[in-house]
Chain A
């Protein structure tokens, strides 16, 4: 496998939260009726996760599925196995009205780690980040400042943000500003 060329070469920033551009995140887009067992069955066989419900996430053994809309899911895996898994799934779905594409290189992923991650995300997206309202297990497609993005929390202190690769530098810039040491608001008591 050739070297993964990241949009920002693995940029990182340390402030209110630690921001890292993630290498090795495989992403596969699945379009099709997510309520159809003819589609969710093969997804379970290949990725080992049950298709989550509305705005849900499901993870198992380094793989995962994110609910993006009633007919779209983003499947996560290792970068190196993405193409093989996409091909496997596409083969199993060949008789169903569905589309499977390896989009790993179309997007950039940032990991946010730290106590203030709710605050950093709340500064950039029109989403209620209060504890109890947004929790691990939920994925949110929204905008961050001026670009489309999606994010979810892996646990109380970790979140991942996905955006298009073409706006990765912009995303890293706004995340870094929002996470600047001198920009704490301390809105959420955590």
Chain B
């Protein structure tokens, strides 16, 4: 069972209260972009064995979207953070580097 703490209402919400929203921090490529960029934006996703950054929505709760960092193997949750950001906060990254030295995720390491 996955427990994520919603950064908006502070509830340690259990998985059935949440809705998964896929990979975090995608950059959208729309009209005017190259086919390659659009194809990558639309279809290419990370599928890491280890540290992963995702979007979740507290659907049966305050209704807010937020970000979560967790380990796909151990299900350890490193932390959750606001949706209004383009990248994970530095203190969270530091915590992950301490626990998983040398981890890489897209261009984050």
Contacts and interface: CB of A to CB of B under 8 A. Distances in A.
Identify whether the interface residues of A are mostly helix, strand, loop, or mixed. Answer: strand
Contacts of A55: 9-11
Interface stretch (A102-110, A138-146, A170-178): A138-146
Contact of A54 (B10, B13, B14, B61): B10
A140 B14 CA distance: 13
A69 B63 contact: yes
Given A54-B10, A55-B11, A69-B8, A143 B17 contact: yes
Contacts, number: 33
Given A126-B16, A142-B17, A143-B16, A68 B62 contact: yes
Contacts of A143: 16-17, 60
Contacts of B16: 126, 143
B60 A141 contact: yes
A35 interface: no
Interface string A125-136: 010000000000
Contacts of A54: 9-10
Nearest to A143: B60
B8 A70 contact: yes
A54 B17 CA distance: 18
13 contacts: A54-B9, A54-B10, A55-B11, A68-B62, A69-B9, A69-B63, A69-B64, A70-B9, A72-B62, A126-B16, A126-B17, A143-B17, A143-B60
Interface of A: 54-55, 68-70, 72, 126, 140-143, 148
